[in-house]
Copies of this chain bind each other. A is one copy, B any other.
Amino acid sequence: MPAILGQSVFDGGLEFPAMVVHRDALQHNVATMAAFVRDHGMELAPHAKTHMSPEIAAMQLAAGAWGLTAATPRQAEAARGFGARRILVANQVVDPAGLTWAAHELEADPAFEFLSFADSVAGVDILAAHAGSRPFRVLVELGHEGGRAGCRTLDGLMRVAAHAQGTPGVELAGVAGYEGGLRTAEEVRKYLDSLREAVEYVRVRNPILTVGGSQWFDVIGRELVATQARILLRSGAYVTHDDGYYRERTPFNRIDGELRPALEVWAHVLSVPEPGLAIVGMGKRDAPYDEGLPIPRRGGVTIMKMQDQHTVVRATGLKPGDLLAFGISHPCTAFDKWRSLPLVDRDYRVVGTIRTDF
């Protein structure tokens, strides 16, 4: 049974396990990052992959986001449905069906902006082969050794840029990078230098420079402040933050400000088969487990393992039917486990629904 608007999630109508979204934290995070990019002369293209939620996307767009970032054409289509007039696919896009959709959408709506990455001549040619009357705008992607995609050298990048500039159906719009895999502020600074250099080299009018921005937006804010490019931050996880992975890595551990964890899973103790051992009705189906296990809110509870539908914990004083709360680690693998989540106020009263469209 779904949660009932105006009632507490503990009033008996809602089935557990359930993941709830705290409205105050969500609103705080949306406002905090909107202010951060504004104060640093940047713009936010929040990564919609994190939540894929029309309600959260609407909050981000209402707070002034440039548009939305997506990881796949499928997500771009959904983001378009969320009301985004500008969409950035943060990959080289090679999917014929996805590109056909994007070309149609560009033709149907002159105000629609669609951007994607390219890191190869082959990638530019695939775009060109699917272009309609409006060209596909691309950002040439500069990677780094040990990184994910992206040209490994500035020379390589310039070859792709030149090819894009000479290819009908494709228009060079700037440079893309991803600093999320780097380990130190010094590595990030060096990489941002090379991105800035790339922007100067490609010489397009009103260039865009996009970077990731979840773990290093402080360094990005300082280093890119004087760059003559429109800086698009693609942070996604900030919107709900977490009690694990991002709690440890947020730049707000180094600068003033904070993000607040907005996601919480509630589940029943199903069984206490041995003294000190409890089986909780929350599993891999309900909460993320890939970048840290859930974080029990109650002291003295230690997670031993998670199974498909159960979590085995060590704890004393629990009995069947007790409800336990857990913070989560890694929002990007939290939302995709749920089709709808109750949005709650401080008293756990349901004030809305957060739907997802994965």
B-contacting 9-mer, from A193-201, A204-212, A226-234, A332-340: A332-340
Copies of this chain assembled into the complex: 2
With a CB–CB cut-off of 8 A, which chain B residues contact A289? Answer: 290
Chain B residue, CB-CB nearest to A121: B320
B-contacting 9-mer, from A144-152, A249-257, A345-353: A144-152
Q: Does A36 contact B (CB under 8 A)?
A: no
A332 CA / B285 CA spacing, docked (Å): 9
B-contacting 9-mer, from A53-61, A79-87, A272-280: A272-280
Find the residue from A1, A92, A141, A284 having the highest chain B CB count within 10 A.
A92
Interface bracket on A: 35 or more
B72 touches A152 (CB 8 A): no
- Give per-residue flags for A86-122: 1 if the beta carbon is below 8 A from chain B beta carbons, else 0: 0000011111111011000000000000000001101
A272 CA / B181 CA spacing, docked (Å): 18
With a CB–CB cut-off of 8 A, which chain B residues contact A337? Answer: 336, 358
**A135-175 at interface with B (beta carbon < 8 Å):** 141, 143, 147-152
Q: Does A268 contact B (CB under 8 A)?
A: yes
B-binding residues in A (CB < 8 A): 1, 12-17, 49, 71-74, 91-98, 100-101, 119-120, 122-123, 126, 141, 143, 147-152, 268-274, 279, 281, 283-285, 289-290, 307-310, 312, 319-321, 332-333, 336-337, 339, 358
